[in-house]
Amino acid sequence: MTVFTGSGVAIVTPFVENTHEIDYRSFQTLLDFHLDHGTDAIIVAGTTGESSTMTDEEQVDLIKFTVDHIDGRIPVIAGAGINDTRHAIRLSQQAENAGADALLILTPYYNKANHEGLLRHYRAIADSVDIPIIMYEVPGRTGMAMTVDEVVELSEHPNIVGLKDATGNMEFTRAVLERTDDDFAVYSGNDDLNHEIMTLGGKGVISVTANVLPDEVHELCQLHLDGNGQDAAVIDQQLEGINRDLFVEVNPIPVKYLVHKMGYCSLDYRLPLYEPSDEAKKVLDGYLTTLAKNNRD
């Protein structure tokens, strides 16, 4: 099954300034912003949502809040990946019980895994739940890379239905799309490659840029899904600068700064993340006029 097509936002998590608690009032407003501006799925408690600094209780509560507020209007995909398989199983089951439509499961990081361990990790999690799983391959963060053969083998599990591809390796992406069934969804995990991956047959994106420009990312995806890649390329060119500059410092520092400047959250992070440097702020402030106009619209 395909969990969603189109633009999924890897949504930021607002925190209350000084106390660093989750700011649910701001988060609800942010969810409504995405419902009103074309976002096709919410990916909550992922890397962009700073899940690595949350307790399990906070993470599950945030997932449940998202599910309850979205109320079935668009899919909610919950981040539940961690480098301890037993812990990932527990989080995945709690996310399922909280009502998540699907799970985003990260490839093991730091301790990594050999071939057999990687396969057993994903299968053990997939066997433990009754909702679909999207694998998340991001070697720049995990320090290990899945092979095409491993993706193909895991795609045969009935609960493993997709891949968030943040490899930046188009040959890898092309091979995965060629060798997996049509109902196995590949989602772009790099905004600078959204157009290229959807041109190859990707079914959508899991986007950082969609936090601040949801209409544009949705339109790019929808044009591709409608077979109009030429017009999608025009939007992709318009987004080239912000796709790049949202990574002027490590994600999610820049995007949360812009969400803050749009008025949706305080400029608050949990350490070791901290607000952008003055130089980075100057770069990001160059987009404020465009974002303010889109926000009014």
Report the candidate in 121, 120, 132 with the shortest Cα–Cα distance to residue 95.
Answer: 132
Domains in the chain, number: 1
Report the candidate in 205, 203, 139, 206 with the shortest Cα–Cα distance to residue 172.
Answer: 139
Averaged pLDDT, groups of 10, the chain, 297 residues long: 94 95 98 97 97 96 98 97 94 98 94 92 97 94 90 97 97 98 96 98 98 97 97 97 97 98 96 97 93 68
**Annotated binding residue at 82?**
no
Give the 3-state DSSP-derived string for the chain, with helices as H, strands as E and coil as C: CCCCCEEEEECCCCECCCCCCECHHHHHHHHHHHHHCCCCEEEECCCCCCHHHCCHHHHHHHHHHHHHHHCCCCCEEEECCCCCHHHHHHHHHHHHHCCCCEEEEECCCCCCCCHHHHHHHHHHHHHHCCCCEEEEECHHHHCCCCCHHHHHHHHCCCCEEEEEECCCCHHHHHHHHHHCCCCCEEEECCHHHHHHHHHHCCCEEEECHHHCCHHHHHHHHHHHHCCCHHHHHHHHHHHHHHHHHCCCCCCCHHHHHHHHHCCCCCCCCCCCCCCCCHHHHHHHHCCHHHHHHHHHC
Burial class (CB in 10 A: 0-12, 13-18, 19+), 111: exposed
Within a domain: 180: yes
Tokens of 292: 């303010």
CA 44 to chain centre: 8
User: Could you tell me the CATH number of the domain that includes residue 57?
Assistant: 3.20.20.70
How many other C-beta atoms lie within 10 A of the C-beta of residue 234?
A: 12
CB contact at 8 A, 291 and 262: yes
**Domain containing residue 74:** 6-248
Report the candidate in 171, 184, 209, 201 with the shortest Cα–Cα distance to residue 134.
Answer: 184
Within a domain: 76: yes
pLDDT of residue 33: 97
Within a domain: 267: no
Within a domain: 292: no
Active-site amino acid positions: 136, 164
CB contact at 8 A, 86 and 127: no
Would the pTM count as exceeding 0.85?
Answer: yes
Within a domain: 74: yes
**Annotated binding residue at 48?**
yes
Cα–Cα separations (whole angstroms), residue 297 to 8, 26, 37, 171, 215: 21, 20, 10, 39, 10
Residue 132 C-beta-side C-alpha neighbours within 13 Å? 20
Within a domain: 11: yes
pLDDT of residue 294: 66
Within a domain: 161: yes
Within a domain: 274: no
